[in-house]
Amino acid sequence: MLIPIEQLILLCFGFFIIATLYSSVGFGGGSSYLALLTLFLTSFFDIRSIALVCNLVVVSGSTYLYFKKGHANVKDFFPFVLVSIPLAYIGATFRLKESIFFIILGCSLILSALFLAVQTFEIHKSKKEVEDYPNYLSYVLGAGIGFLSGLVGIGGGIFLAPILNHLRWNKAIKIAALASFFILVNSISGLFGLITSNSLSLPWLETICLVVAVLLGGQLGIRISLKKLSANGIKRVTALLVLVVGMRVLLINGLRLF
């Protein structure tokens, strides 16, 4: 057992809250899982593996409901996932040095926080407004975000959704469905990448407890109404927390300035 029981209980509670909030807006919570895990674990193999599995558990339920309700269309999503799947796999096969991993992870968390914060300030004249969108951008975005998702264990939806909202690729609900599906396929691809590179490290007790926590939180988040809570407010608070931890990971674990 790598984490003392009292700390594991606290971590499970944090994962439950993250899964509930993130699933309610179409994300898996990978960036925040990574952020929390860096406070309790030192092995980046454990950190990356657990975050990826938890991400996969949450978005599986969300993706199922999006397809069930008719918000998801594989044909529209195909250009994104066509290139992201192999690149997520390749990214996951990289056996990085610990310092390099934490530098990339820290920068990724900081970018995640900024993208999430920016999304809350996007202003659209009309919810139905969709602008022309160059097809090649789908492949470019899918490739870049897919590789990053495999490299650090983030599904990539937290980057993709705000970019597509800014570009007005489609309706918000369809972008959320794409983000969820994007996270799902990249998490699966990244998981296979970790397995084939012998980088998968899942301490069984911690993994089981955290998977149960995110499973419950994810199912709760996609089934209850959060109308009384501001989605933008949730995102801003989450972005602040991820930003703080990302700075800590970059400066202390990565650059070792303190």
Q: Average pLDDT, whole number, for the chain?
A: 86
Got the DSSP string for 206-220?
A: HHHHHHHHHHHHHHH
- The answer to whether residue 225 scores a pLDDT higher than 60 is no
Q: How far apart are CA 219 and CA 209, in angstroms?
A: 16
Q: Are the C-beta atoms of 187 and 56 separated by less than 8 Å?
A: yes
Give the pLDDT confidence of 71-97 residue by residue, as tens digits.
Answer: 888 888 999 999 999 999 999 998 888
Which two tokens mark 107? 């920068």
Give the pLDDT confidence of 20-69 residue by residue, as tens digits.
Answer: 988 877 788 888 898 899 889 988 889 989 999 999 999 998 898 888 88
Give the pLDDT confidence of 102-139 residue by residue, as tens digits.
Answer: 898 889 889 888 888 887 776 555 555 677 778 889 99
Q: What is the pLDDT of residue 53?
A: 95
